[in-house]
Amino acid sequence: MYISFISGLLFGLGLAVSNMLNPQRVLAFLDVFGTWDPTLAFVMGGALVITVPGFTKVLRRKKPLFTATFTLPMKTDIDMPLIVGAVLFGLGWGLVGLCPGPAIAALVSLDLNVVLFCTVMLTSWWVTDRFIPNKQRQPDA
Amino acid sequence: MTLADDMQIFQGLLGGLLIGISALLLILGNGNIAGISGIVGNAISNPRGSAWRWLFIIGLLCGAALFLFINGSLNAVFPSFDGRIFLAAALVGIGTRLGSGCTSGHGVCGIGRRSVRSITATVIFMAVAIMTVAIVGR
């Protein structure tokens, strides 16, 4: 279980080192038609260089190192919730440049607007789970 | 914000590699997907059954705090108070729950698994976010 702490630690450090905790840096990447900043592409590229070959190798194993089974998303079809959800998320992300990982990690700044953003985001997660039950929603994608 | 210089590109790549290693460790060790919206969303919906999720979240905060401690600053300009914060946070919250993932779950891990759902979601939210910035500005 301690591995999840190490994983979280590296994730938070990676976000901070790459300046992805800075919404202005993220918005500058999304501003393709303005003064474009390619940083996020290098962050995503750096992560995928590890995960694309790495996941393929790991998922060939019978089981993970410290637990009994892999907990993977089961859905494989492109359905309406996926498309509508991705559109809504894209709108919100483009508005202020914060997505869930950086928003939560940036709480360490104690910036009140980040705290406000996270409070509303957490409430929305909780409300969505309560009122739009989706039995097939994958565990942790 | 000016265009990124070489140092910024290098730090982006370094940070990306750390994020990739983080996701790989979690799947190799625990068999879980490092998707932040899923981990945090499920932790608050099911607090008792989420020990590994809380540990991940504490780690995430410690990682950012470690950088803050060493560097002295997060080098970030956060949004100023504005109605947009409420709207954006609600859209990000509802969207990532409906769509079962965000930049980490679909982008970093889902593409890693070569999941067609995740690749589709990533293309859609990137395109919509780019259009949003093009229309609303930053």
Q: Which residue bears the tokens 């591995």?
A: A3
Q: Work out the mean pLDDT of chain B and round it to a whole number.
A: 95
Which H or E run includes B32? none
- B83 Cβ contact partners less than 8 Å away, ≥ 6 residues apart: none
Please give the residue that has the higher pLDDT: either A35 or B123: B123
CB burial readout A53-64, b (16+ within 10 A) else e? ebbeebeeeeeb
Q: Coil, strand, or helix at residue A63?
A: coil
CB contact under 8 A, A104 and B61: yes
Would you say residue A135 has pLDDT above 80? Answer: no
Using pLDDT thresholds of 50, 70 and 90, give the confidence band for residue A116: very high
Q: Work out the mean pLDDT of chain A and round it to a whole number.
A: 93
CB contact under 8 A, B100 and A48: no
Taking the domains of chain B in order of start, what are their residue ranges?
A: 6-136
Taking the domains of chain A in order of start, what are their residue ranges?
A: 2-131
Would you say residue B3 has pLDDT above 70? Answer: no
Q: Mutation test of the interface with chain B: which of A25, A33, A50, A59, choosing the one with the most B Cβ atoms within 10 A?
A: A50
Q: Specify the pLDDT at position B2.
A: 53
pLDDT tens-digit readout, A6-15 = 999 999 999 9
ipTM (interface predicted TM): 0.96
Q: Mutation test of the interface with chain A: which of B66, B75, B104, B108, choosing the one with the most A Cβ atoms within 10 A?
A: B108
Using pLDDT thresholds of 50, 70 and 90, give the confidence band for residue B1: very low
CA–CA separation, B45 and B118 (whole Å): 23
pLDDT tens-digit readout, A58-112 = 999 999 999 999 999 988 899 999 999 999 999 999 999 999 999 999 999 999 9
Which H or E run includes B80? none
Listed by number, the residues of chain A in 88-127 with a beta carbon closer than 8 Å to a beta carbon of chain B are 88-101, 103-109, 111-114, 116-127
Mean pLDDT of B7-32: 97
pTM: 0.95
Question: What amino acid occupies position B79?
Answer: P
Chain B neighbors of A12, CB-CB under 8 A: 59-67
Which H or E run includes A125? helix A112-131
Would you say residue A132 has pLDDT above 90? Answer: no
Using pLDDT thresholds of 50, 70 and 90, give the confidence band for residue B138: confident
Q: Which of A12, A25, A138 faces B100 most closely, judged by CB atoms?
A: A138
CB contact under 8 A, A58 and B68: no
Chain A with chain B: Cβ pairs closer than 8 A: 517
